[in-house]
Amino acid sequence: MSRYWSPIVHRLTPYVPGEQPKLDKLIKLNTNEHPYGPSPRAVAAIREAADDSLRLYPDPNADKLKAVLAQRHGLTPAQVFVGNGSDEVLAHAFLGLLKQDHPLWFPDITYSFYPVYCGLYEIAYETLPLADDYSLRPEDYLPLAGRRAGAIIFANPNAPTGRLLALTEVERIVAGNPDAVVLVDEAYVDFGGESAIPLVERYPNLLVVQTFSKSRSLAGLRVGFAVGHPDLIEALERVKNSFNSYPLNRLALAGAVASVEDEAHFRDSCDRVISSRSRLTEQLSELGFEVLPSVANFVFARHPRRDAAGLAAALRERAIIVRHFRAPRIDQFLRITIGTDAQCDALLAALGEILA
């Protein structure tokens, strides 16, 4: 606290990221990073870009990256926005599209950055409770007499639950709210979900946001993107160009383009995570855990007889870190990132010992 702070800074409650410990040898299953590395072609492209040309500013419009993303998703570059991680893309969307006269709607259990942006940009919001099985009820997101959303945002698959909403249900929400922007945060969609991107041609109110941090194993590079109608994209460009007109640096642009061009590595490394997820889900169930059906690169699990905070602490003593949220309705769950098979085995062995 300082008397020099602006009033808004006094009121902020910043997002708390999962810890990034400076210790080696830890088994780190707390922030949903990919267990396998990025495309070797992306790493080579970054190395190649690390030369004298770094004295020059990067392309402020990221034309090459927008072009490869547009091509991959069957869109035009005018339907694509790129940012420094999807968190930055989301921030611009909150200010440029989701801040409206009516409140923003999102689930009570979701990515905990959403209320943080609402605080930063002074956006009124309402949270809508997930069902008892932690699924999202699409009917709750349709306008009723006297009650409508200024805009809607949800993650699909949801975080930290991992549950997927079927594409037909996503479409029901988008189609049912023609006067509101519906933002679908697809940070985890490549691990078995069906993207809403094909719907953007038909719905001018749909914005889909994805990231290179999870499925492309480039969390350290900070690249994310949004796709939608060119009018929505223009709102994001206007905010970006009023904030930082060179968000993606030259290395990030080079690495991201090469990553998109290496479809084989992308598919293969996601498939490996998906098979480890089925195996981990099965083995956690054998240990007595209830595991929510996950379509992400993590599972959300609780043990009927063991306190989640206690389990997280016991795992930590064994140099394994998982994420535990001290939040209503989910404080008995652990969110466990899918690691390599060796990491999953170490986790299961440690849990076996702790539960014995």
Q: Minimum CB separation from ligand PLP for residue 22, in Å?
A: 20
Q: Looking at 213, 217, 259, 337, which residue binds ligand PLP (CB under 6 A)?
A: 213
Distance CA 161, CA 170 (A): 17
Q: Looking at 81, 111, 117, 225, which residue binds ligand PLP (CB under 6 A)?
A: 111
Q: Looking at 149, 219, 233, 248, which residue binds ligand PLP (CB under 6 A)?
A: 219
Q: Minimum CB separation from ligand PLP for residue 298, in Å?
A: 9
Q: Residues 15-54 vs ligand PLP: string with x where CB under 6 A? A: ----------------------------------------
Amino acid making up residue 28: K
Q: Minimum CB separation from ligand PLP for residue 153, in Å?
A: 10
The HSE-up count of residue 139 (CA atoms within 13 Å, CB side) is 1
**With binding defined as CB under 6 A, does residue 193 bind ligand PLP?**
no
Strand partners, 152: 105, 182
**With binding defined as CB under 6 A, does residue 155 bind ligand PLP?**
yes
**With binding defined as CB under 6 A, does residue 187 bind ligand PLP?**
yes
**Exposure string (b/e) for 245-256, b if CB count within 10 Å is 16 or more?**
eebbbbbbbbbb
DSSP state of 306: B
**With binding defined as CB under 6 A, does residue 207 bind ligand PLP?**
no
Handedness of CA 305, 309, 312, 317 (dihedral sign): negative
Strands (E), the chain: 27-29, 80-83, 104-107, 125-128, 151-155, 181-185, 206-211, 224-228, 290-291, 298-302, 320-322, 334-337
**With binding defined as CB under 6 A, does residue 86 bind ligand PLP?**
yes
**With binding defined as CB under 6 A, does residue 262 bind ligand PLP?**
no
**With binding defined as CB under 6 A, does residue 297 bind ligand PLP?**
no
**With binding defined as CB under 6 A, does residue 58 bind ligand PLP?**
no
**With binding defined as CB under 6 A, does residue 224 bind ligand PLP?**
yes
Strands (E), 1-111: 27-29, 80-83, 104-107
Cis peptide before 157 (omega within 30 of 0): yes
**With binding defined as CB under 6 A, does residue 85 bind ligand PLP?**
yes
Q: Which stretch binds ligand PLP (CB under 6 A): 82-90, 92-100, 244-252, 310-318?
A: 82-90
Q: Minimum CB separation from ligand PLP for residue 356, in Å?
A: 33
Q: Minimum CB separation from ligand PLP for residue 82, in Å?
A: 11
DSSP letters spanning 108-172:
SSS-THHHHHHHHHT--EEEEPPPTTS---GGGGS-BTTB--SEEEEESS-TTT-PPPPHHHHHH
**With binding defined as CB under 6 A, does residue 107 bind ligand PLP?**
no
Q: Which stretch binds ligand PLP (CB under 6 A): 37-45, 47-55, 196-204, 211-219?
A: 211-219
Count of residues in contact with ligand PLP, rule CB under 6 A: 12
Q: Minimum CB separation from ligand PLP for residue 236, in Å?
A: 15
Task: Collect all residues with Cβ–Cβ distance below 8 Å to 177 and sequence separation of at least 6.
Answer: 141, 142, 143, 148, 149, 152, 205
Task: Collect all residues with Cβ–Cβ distance below 8 Å to 319 and sequence separation of at least 6.
Answer: 25, 26, 27
Query: Which residues sit at the interface with ligand PLP, rule CB under 6 A?
Result: 85-87, 111, 155, 159, 185, 187, 211, 213, 219, 224
